[in-house]
Amino acid sequence: MKELTYVEALNEALREEMMRDERVFLIGEDIGPYWEGAFKVTKGLAKQFGVERVRDTPISEACIVGAAVGAAMTGMRPVAEIMFGDLLTLAMDQIANQAAKIHYMFGGQLKVPLVIRSPFGAGKSIAAHHSQSLEAWFMHTPGLKVAVPSTAYDAKGLLKTAIRDDDPVMFFEHKLCYTTKSMIPEEEYLIPFGEADVKREGSDVTVFATFWMVHQALKAADKLSKKGIEIEIVDPRTLVPLDKETILDSVRKTGRLLIVEEDCKTCGIGAEIAAIVSEEAFDYLESPIKRIAEPDTPIPFSPVLENYVIPNDEAIVKGVIDLLES
């Protein structure tokens, strides 16, 4: 085992897959030898594999994704990087109307083995155009798979699985997770899509969390444990496919569900999780489902205001106690 940061784990996954399969190439803005990626995920890869396989592009998200979709249709396995997840909006036609639908519209004759990597989330004080969490948009689009790793270990295993998948995968990374560390096996491993991970077992309340909120939930768990309250933290790891059974089994055990998400509350991923549990495990609930999410507002630039709108461990502690008292 070795300890790697989230960024290093992603870099290692890309390197291993590029060595394994010559069809894998990277494409994106500033990912080449000069900048090596805005968050250094592609560090050293252009030097090792050359600029033909680590391709810098113009500042055009539509160009990046459009070229990657075309390459995937012809048998390549592109990994496209969009520097900030907010800028995926500039390539939504290529993602939602082309990549997601091609396999279906061509009767299965064409595949689109494409990975689109992009960082989401707030916490860096870089304002409303660079801080959103938009995963619910892509979860809502049939034909796309959606991965949301919260740890370095999950990031490496899920990225390798994504690159080998024959369907388009939206692979989202939280900026604040980039410096977190995990123990990584020396030997190769992959993490199957659709298998949630129980990050901490407990019996009192199920906490469903993604991305940076998993780390906030773990902090909250330590505080609650001192009060004699044990929460169970369920990390879905992928939103599409979604491991409903792990979520439902946990709720059946605890009888209570707190959903913690960084996206906007209205029509966020928490709404879907709440609906699933209400439809399939309602009789097991001992109190109403509670959601903690970002209010329906753009992310502020001000650090004070940004901290105010983004959920944290203290909000989770309060939410758990409110659930137990309800």
Q: Which residues are tagged catalytic?
A: 130
- Are 68 and 78 in contact, with CB atoms under 8 Å apart? yes
- Are 244 and 196 in contact, with CB atoms under 8 Å apart? no
Is the backbone peptide bond immediately before 33 cis, with ω within 30 degrees of 0?
no
The continuous run of DSSP H or E covering 304 comes out as: helix 303-309
Nearest CA among 149, 138, 117, 145 for reference residue 14: 117
- State the helix-helix crossing angle for 212-225 and 313-325, rounded to 10 degrees: 60
E-strand ranges in the chain read 2-5, 24-28, 54-56, 77-81, 115-120, 145-147, 169-174, 181-184, 197-200, 205-209, 231-235, 238-240, 257-264, 290-294
Q: Which neighbouring-strand residues pair with 197?
A: 235
Asked whether the CA dihedral 99, 86, 311, 4 is positive or negative, the reply is: positive
DSSP letters for 112-138: ---EEEEEE--SS---TTS----HHHH
Distance from first CA to last CA of the chain, Å, rounded? 44
